[in-house]
Structure 1
Amino acid sequence: AGFLVRQAAAEDPMMPLDLFRARNFWAGNLATAFVYAALSLNGFVVGVYLQQGAGLSATLAGLATLPITILMILFSSRVGDLAGRFGPRLFMTVGPIVMAAGALLLLSVGEPFDYWTQVLPGVIAFGLGLTLTVSPLTSAILGAIDTSRSGIASAVNNAISRVAGLIVIAMLATIVGGALDLDGFHRAAVVTAALLAVGGAVSFAGIRNRLPARSDVG
């Protein structure tokens, strides 16, 4: 709160608050807070549970989410092109919802543990949703601000994503109920899905597609 008061009063603020007058900027950053909180929660819980609960090695637990990275490498540029044509709103709405479905698929994790049927489907859905979300999200936020201020706009968005991740990890014990056992893992999956659903709803309600400029030649 003190930081915001200082930024509002400073002649040369580190974070100019007038950036948030742009609709897609504030809506995109609000969606970022929910989506990246979910990403941090899911990444931490899955990595730890696969080692402590499912008994995988650290290497295998890391490789378990590799399909997410592969999907993003393969399709992010294509999604960026489509978002440029049709606008970011649809992608920023559908993407988090698909990720939420992926998080709920992790509720199938149980005993005996099987990665291929219990984890991989959720990981693939999560990767597809993330691929649909990231490029349009970045484009919407930076596109709402004059290019001369794109550096500070990007920095603000990055800071919001990191702070959201820190907050949700700080609340981890409350989310999982004190222990990251199977029940705690399932609770974390539900909270992850809820955060992502809110992120999708914020995007649907707040993001506006930029309309092409009308030609004066008739």
Structure 2
Amino acid sequence: MRLHEPAGRRLLATTVLGSGVVFLDGTVTNVALPHIGTELHADLAGLQWVINGYTLALASLILVGGSLGDRFGRKRVFAWGTAGFAVASVLTALAPTIELLVGARVLQGIAAAMLTPGSLAMLQSSFHPDDRMKAIGAWTGTLGVATAGGPLLGGWLVGIDWRWAFWINLPLGLLVLWLLRPAPETRDPKAAHHLDLAGLVLTPVTLAGITWALTVWPARSAVVAGVVGLLAAVAFVVAERRERAPMVPLGLFADRVFAAINLVTLFIYAALSGSMLFLAIFLQVSAGWTPLAAGAATVPLSIVMLFLASRGGDLATKIGARTPMVAGALVLAAGLALLAFAPDHPRFLVNILPGVLLMGFGLSLLVAPLTGTVLAAAPDELSGLASGINNAVSRTAGLLAVAALPLLVGLSGEAYRNGPAVASAYRQSMWWCCGLVLLGAALTFLGLTPKRR
């Protein structure tokens, strides 16, 4: 398939729209939390699970989704994921209680784990070799535009009714399925026909146990859940060592660079997820901004990354990954520190925009070298799996941050409705996130050689 052909452009539009729906959903949920809590009478733990139920399912199953596509056909599994995501979004929009809403979000996460890996896999396997990088570049750029516009659309829909923010996924999903019809089917003839059942079971048990413990602490169930999660983690390591076709080949982590950069990914994306969550709640509850205004506040970050992220990759190619990654982390930490000084009633141009712009500049220097370094540290035949592991690590980072940060800053129960309490928790959370980024910078400096390409 060639990019200049109508079929090629249609496939590109299909993958961008399918991935864009998932990106939009993540943006919308952060902005919608205060409204969901008010309508469904939910406490903070319930709202945490609105995000974490989705992220838990996605982080646990994203590697399985990729392997299912290789085995049964990428187009078929992408279609399953898209249809499932649309149906789960309808259930989310109709949910009358916080418990049913969390259940529907888990179903969304399962569907997203089938949909997400298929986008790039279809482009990689369907396009002519001369057009593959062009197609992936166009996918990245177009999706960047969609990501930048997501907070505006999400904030506008939440301002009308938070349920509309999930209803919109139904027509978008149907459009993706219609566009997908003529796409060619591809699969990996060498794909293993054996599923790692132990890994499939132990991964969600590990993440669910640890997340539950952090969310409900200091309740008695927190200790039990934490112990179950840690035991499942140990059992996962033992099982993966013995598995003949492991979901996560632990031998990859024998490479010092691969292990270090995945740990850096955990710190950076935990800080990013936690800061975006608390910023969205702070601007609405403490500052009194509308959902549209709160969503629009982060648009400059996406715009900066849209135009500059590729430059960070070019710089890393010329001088090595360590310098731009460390510099990017320091700039990102400076942006978080600026946001920490915002007063209870901030002005966008003075108190919010400078910090958001610095975050965008820092991430532009950081993200492309981070991803490239992870792929370069793995053997070529395992580059897809290495990318999937790194993606799962970034999702897990967001899961743990949303569970742990409210505990660390003392925000619980109904306190998220109280403006001064949210403002205090917001400032503390920004400093915690700043510290995580600085840890990532230190680990990058120690873990990479100066001219690591």
How would you bin the TM-score normalised by the shorter chain? over 0.9
8 Å CA contact retained: 2:311, 2:365: no
Select which of 425, 429, 437 maps to 1:184.
425
State the match for 1:27 in structure 2: 260
In structure 2, the residue matched to 1:67 is: 300
Is residue 104–residue 122 contact of structure 1 (8 Å, CA) maintained in 2? yes
Residue in structure 2 matched with residue 215 of structure 1 by the alignment: none
Any idea what the Cα deviations from partners look like across 1:4-49, whole Å, max 9, x if unmatched? Answer: 2111111111110011122221111010000000011011111111
1:152 maps to which residue? Answer: 385
Q: Whole-Å Cα distance in 2 between the matches of residues 111 and 43 of structure 1?
A: 17
Tell whether the 8 Å contact from 1:41 to 1:192 is kept in structure 2 after alignment: yes
Instruction: Please give the alpha-carbon distance, in whole angstroms, between the structure 2 residues aligned to 1:207 and 1:170.
Output: 30
CA distance in 2, matches of 1:149, 1:112: 50
SS in 1 for 2:382: helix
The alpha carbon displacement at 1:210 in A equals 5.3
Q: Which residue in the other structure is 1:99 paired with? A: 332
2:375, 2:300 → 1: CA distance? 28
TM-score normalised to structure 2 length: 0.46
* Alpha carbons 2:315, 2:324 under 8 Å: kept: no
- The residue that corresponds to 1:119 in the other structure is 352
CA distance, structure 1, for counterparts of residue 447 and residue 248 of structure 2: 22
Superposition RMSD in Å = 1.4
For normalisation by structure 1, the TM-score amounts to: 0.93
* Aligned residue number for residue 285 of structure 2: 52
Helix, strand or coil at the partner of 2:335: helix
CA offset digits 1:41-72 (Å, max 9, x no partner): 01111111111111111111111011111111
Partner of 2:449, secondary structure, is coil
Instruction: Pick the aligned partner of 2:320 from 67, 76, 87.
Output: 87
Looking at structure 2, the residues matched to 184 and 199 of structure 1 have their Cα atoms a distance apart, in angstroms, of 23
Between the two proteins, the alignment pairs up a number of residues equal to 212
Q: Deviations over 1:120-173 (max 9, x none)?
A: 110011111011100000011101112211111001101111111101111132
Q: Which residue of 2 aligns with 1:139?
A: 372
Asked if the contact 1:96–1:129 (Cα under 8 Å) also holds between the matched residues in 2, the reply is yes
Instruction: Establish whether residue 201 from structure 1 lines up as the match of residue 434 from structure 2.
Output: no
Aligned counterpart, 1:216: none
Contact 2:257 2:374 in 1 (8 A): yes
Q: State the distance in 2 between where 1:38 and 1:157 align.
A: 16
* Correspondence for 1:37 among 257, 270, 277: 270
Greater helix share, 1 or 2? 2
> Displacement, 1:176?
2.4
Unaligned runs of 5+ in 1: 213-218
- Is the CA contact (8 Å cut-off) linking 1:24 and 1:208 kept in structure 2? no
Change (3 A) 1:113 1:152: same
| Structure-2 change in CA distance of 1:4 and 1:77 (3 Å) | same
> Larger Cα Rg: Structure 1 or Structure 2?
2
DSSP 3-state at the match of 1:119:
helix
Task: Report which stretch shifted further, 201-210 or 149-158.
Answer: 201-210
CA distance in structure 2 between the aligned counterparts of 1:86 and 1:153, rounded to whole angstroms: 23
Give the conservation status (yes or no) of the 8 Å contact 1:32–1:160: yes
Preserved CA contact (<8 Å) 2:286 2:344: no
Residue 406 of structure 2: aligned partner:
173
Does the aligned pair in 2 maintain the 1:107–1:186 contact within 8 Å?
Answer: yes
Give the Å deviation of 1:211.
Answer: 6.0
State how far apart, in whole Å, the 1-side matches of 2:313 and 2:340 are.
31
The residue type equivalent to 2:250 in the other structure is: L
Output the amino acid matched with 1:194.
G
Could you report, residue by residue, the CA deviation over 1:81-130 in whole angstroms, capped at 9, with x for unpaired residues?
11011111111111111111111101221144211111111001111101
Could you list the runs of 4 or more consecutive aligned residues of structure 1 that deviate by over 3 angstroms after TM superposition? 209-212
Query: In the alignment, which residue of structure 1 is the partner of 2:248?
Result: 15
